[in-house]
Amino acid sequence: MAASKNYGPTRLVVGAHYGVIDFIAQRITAVIMAIYTLVLIVGMLVMPSFSYESWKALFTFRVYAIPVGQILATLFFLALAWHAWIGVRDIWMDYVKPAGVRMLLQVLTILWLVGSVVYFAQILWSI
């Protein structure tokens, strides 16, 4: 009986460098969120009052008819959703061992995140 080879060119490699790409993606999304948070804090500090009109202006300002406030907020929320997906997916992969339960949790997480992004876009872009 021949022993199975677990090395060399016949070895099945799954997910090579998978963690590196996720690590980089999570760091990039964190930087996007940090920069937007700083921009939002500066905007709140220079805001004349905490009224509805001031808050609306903070998220809907335009530069040459381009809705910069809405684009930046959307970029932030997409980065937040992607950041959350990577983190929660890693938690499910590390701590939930039954494959069926893990897959169900991942699908529910995706549905929740997509629903959140759609709801956010509906609110922001209807202002």
Q: Is residue 12 part of a domain?
A: no
What CATH number did the domain enclosing 45 receive?
1.20.1300.10
Domain ranges, residue 117 = 20-126
17 is in an annotated binding site: no
Q: Inform me whether the pLDDT recorded for 16 exceeds 70.
A: no
Q: Is residue 62 part of a domain?
A: yes
Q: What pLDDT shows up at residue 3? A: 60
Q: Which residue has the higher pLDDT, 26 or 9?
A: 26
The tally of domains found in the chain comes to 1
Q: Is residue 2 part of a domain?
A: no
Q: What pLDDT shows up at residue 104? A: 96
Alpha helices (runs of H) in the chain, residue ranges in sequence order: 18-45, 52-60, 68-95, 99-124
Return the number of other C-beta atoms located less than 10 Å from residue 69's C-beta: 20
Cα–Cα dist 40/30, whole Å: 15
Q: Inform me whether the pLDDT recorded for 116 exceeds 80.
A: yes
Cα–Cα dist 75/81, whole Å: 10
Q: What percent of the chain has pLDDT over 90?
A: 61
Q: Quickly state the pLDDT bin for 67 (edges 50, 70, 90).
A: very high
Q: Which of 99, 78, 102 is nearest to 88 (CA)?
A: 102
Q: Is 61 exposed, middle or buried (0-12, 13-18, 19+ CB in 10 A)?
A: middle
Q: What pLDDT shows up at residue 5? A: 60
36 is in an annotated binding site: no
Tell me the mean pLDDT in the region 45-49: 86
Q: Is residue 108 part of a domain?
A: yes
